[in-house]
Amino acid sequence: MEEGPRWGFDFDSVVGDLSEVLERVAQEEFGIRISREEFTEFRLEKCLPFDEEFILAWISRALDPSWTQRMRPYPGAPEVLAELSGIQPLWFVTARSDPGPVREWLKVKLQGVPQQRIFVHAVGPFGSKVEILCREGITHFVEDRLETCEALYRNGIIPVVFDQPWNRGRHPFRSVQSWDDLRGLILGEK
């Protein structure tokens, strides 16, 4: 019997709405009004009129555990993940350095999912997700960063791009606009 696809997920800007947190942190902590539609490059210093030092401080605050716990999931993400957890364990691989805040967030947002079905790996900002995904037998990975998608593809993992303003350029990968689209793809309905 052939085993089906094994799905994995990035966390920030795929499951949790980091752009909204960045908007709120900019406003509440730095007094700057900014819109996610201005985030047209993955590296924010390439598309915003701020120096790298400010951007690092801003992102660092947005990734703080207190802000992580206030992050909203994308509509449909908890429901689709809960449904998928009945088919396979849930694998999250993040570029964050500490998996703890992501684990805590998932524990709250996915309350009906047994914790032993949720796995979170943090590779840090300079780490590679590929090694963990290959080791765990993940065949499909939902990601927002195109460079990561390219590395996944080169290593035999099928990338699915979660649509964001910084990845709307031309690329050869399947894209999804929402968790409803992703549900159809995962469950073979689209």
Residue carrying structure tokens 């999912």:
113
Encoded tokens for 12: 């920030």
What is the domain partition of the chain in residue ranges?
7-16+73-186, 18-70
Q: What is the pLDDT of residues 36-83, one digit of tens each?
A: 888 888 888 888 889 889 999 999 999 999 999 999 999 999 999 999
Q: What is the pLDDT of residues 92-128, one digit of tens each?
A: 999 999 999 999 999 999 999 999 999 999 998 877 8
Encoded tokens for 143: 């990601």
User: So what's the architecture of 7-16+73-186 in CATH?
Assistant: 3-Layer(aba) Sandwich (3.40)
**Alpha carbon distance 101, 117 (integer Å):** 17
pLDDT band at 189 (very low <50, low <70, confident <90, very high): low
Phi, psi of 78, deg, nearest 5:
-60, -40
Encoded tokens for 138: 């993940």
**Alpha carbon distance 89, 66 (integer Å):** 27
Name which of 11-15, 29-33, 47-51 the model is least confident about.
47-51
